[in-house]
Structure 1
Amino acid sequence: MSYFAAAVVRGRSGWAATELDLHDAADVDEVADLLRDTDPGADVSLMFVESDDAYLVVMRLDEGEDLRIFGSDSAFADESRLGKLLLSDVEVPVVEIDEAEPTDDDEDRPAADPAADPVGDADLLADLGVSAHKLLALCATDGLLPADVTAEVCQAIGCGDEVEELRES
């Protein structure tokens, strides 16, 4: 299984991105600790985990607390150790696909794919400019890989250059 895990943290000097190795993590709390340790003083800490060009998990810590998780498809938990590690404690989405309110920016996007089964908190990036509807629609857009979704989300929240530089290094 191949994956890419990027920690993106916003501190006093702006956004910074770091690649993380999750191979030795035993549970989601250890993954949260890795994210927290990236910059313990960060206001917002995000982690984007892309796996096998099929799955995306977004994790968020605010001031190092209150872990929130979104997964693009619950099947990830059934198909890999990493998926189970990240999504085993995540339940039904806080915002259902049909309940996610579209914004003006979302109107050009297709509706979410009914075959996908997103889990967790789809609204975890709303205050950063990515609504639940937009996140769900991006994950369900035919032809967009998890890396494409991450790139578009990061551009929208203002850390696209940092993540792009990380990928290129």
Structure 2
Amino acid sequence: MYFAALLARTEDGWEASDTELDDVETLSDLMDLARDASVDEDTVLVFIEQEDAWFGVIRVDGEEDPRIYVSDASAAARSSYGEILLTDELLGREPEAEDEIAALEELVDLDGTEDGEPDGTGGARHSVPAPAAGTIDAIDPDDDPDAVPAGPIGELGILADLGMSEKELLTLRTDALVEIADALGAAEVLETVR
């Protein structure tokens, strides 16, 4: 069960609205929703919570890049909405590195034949050649570049100037969004959309 909401800061306090994520496929889609809810390009917080598993906070301040915090990256990685938040940059990966590696592997053929050409055994070659020492395939399988770390990831100070310290954010588990809203002075408005 997911819950998602937007909190937009105004000069009169916070305004809350629930958020339908059915049409959200990318982080850009989520940013568009946040910016549409913004009043005078002020701060907007997007909350996403999967019951008892993980929560995420995305902060958008005007046209600046979004700031993201996810409470448990490995749990979020198993969620379609969590995957939206776990960008290559947040995970410390080169953007689309796996696509480049796959393309290079397709181009390189270690025995000099192209896919489908006879390999001297009387048949077409369909299997992947054994990795040669020093190639990308020879990387230790324990060093999985696609592995997602367990635990929190992102910007710990995302809410520090709004009333919630890094330490407080790290201690949140269940009902995290209620506690965050309470620290921001927005508990009542969040409760109206919950």
- TM-score when scaled to structure 1? 0.74
Contact 2:5-2:46 at 8 Å conserved across structures: yes
Per the alignment, residue 121 of structure 2 pairs with none
Per the alignment, residue 163 of structure 1 pairs with 190
Contact 1:7-1:19 at 8 Å conserved across structures: yes
Instruction: Tell me the alpha carbon deviations over residues 95-138 of structure 1, each in whole angstroms, 9 at most, x when there is no partner.
Output: xxxxxxxxxxxxxxxxxxxx951010011000011111110012
Structure number with higher strand proportion: 1
1:134 aligns with 2:133: no
Q: How many residues are treated as equivalent by the alignment?
A: 137
One-letter code of the match for 1:82? Y
Contact 1:123-1:131 at 8 Å conserved across structures: yes
Contact 2:77-2:86 at 8 Å conserved across structures: no
Cα offset for 1:153? 1.2
Instruction: Tell me the alpha carbon deviations over residues 66-90 of structure 1, each in whole angstroms, 9 at most, x when there is no partner.
Output: 2000000011343121111122332
One-letter code of the match for 2:164? V
Per the alignment, residue 131 of structure 2 pairs with none
Per the alignment, residue 30 of structure 1 pairs with 29
Choose from 154, 157, 169 the match for 2:181. Answer: 154
Per the alignment, residue 46 of structure 1 pairs with 45
Q: Quick one: percent identity of the two aligned structures?
A: 39
Contact 1:46-1:60 at 8 Å conserved across structures: yes
The runs of 5 or more residues in structure 1 that have no matched partner are 93-114, 140-144
Per the alignment, residue 151 of structure 2 pairs with 117
Alpha-carbon separation, structure 2, partners of 1:59 and 1:88? 12
Contact 2:9-2:39 at 8 Å conserved across structures: no
- TM-score when scaled to structure 2? 0.65
Alpha-carbon separation, structure 1, partners of 2:153 and 2:82? 12
Alpha-carbon separation, structure 1, partners of 2:11 and 2:51? 34
Alpha-carbon separation, structure 1, partners of 2:87 and 2:192? 31
Contact 1:10-1:42 at 8 Å conserved across structures: no
Q: How does 1:4-153 map to 2 (within 5 A)?
A: 4-89=3-88, 90-91=90-91, 117-139=151-173, 145=174, 148-153=175-180
Q: Max radius of gyration: which structure?
A: 2
One-letter code of the match for 1:161? E
One-letter code of the match for 1:152? E
Alpha-carbon separation, structure 2, partners of 1:30 and 1:152? 26
Per the alignment, residue 96 of structure 1 pairs with none
One-letter code of the match for 1:60? R
Alpha-carbon separation, structure 1, partners of 2:14 and 2:154? 24
One-letter code of the match for 2:161? D
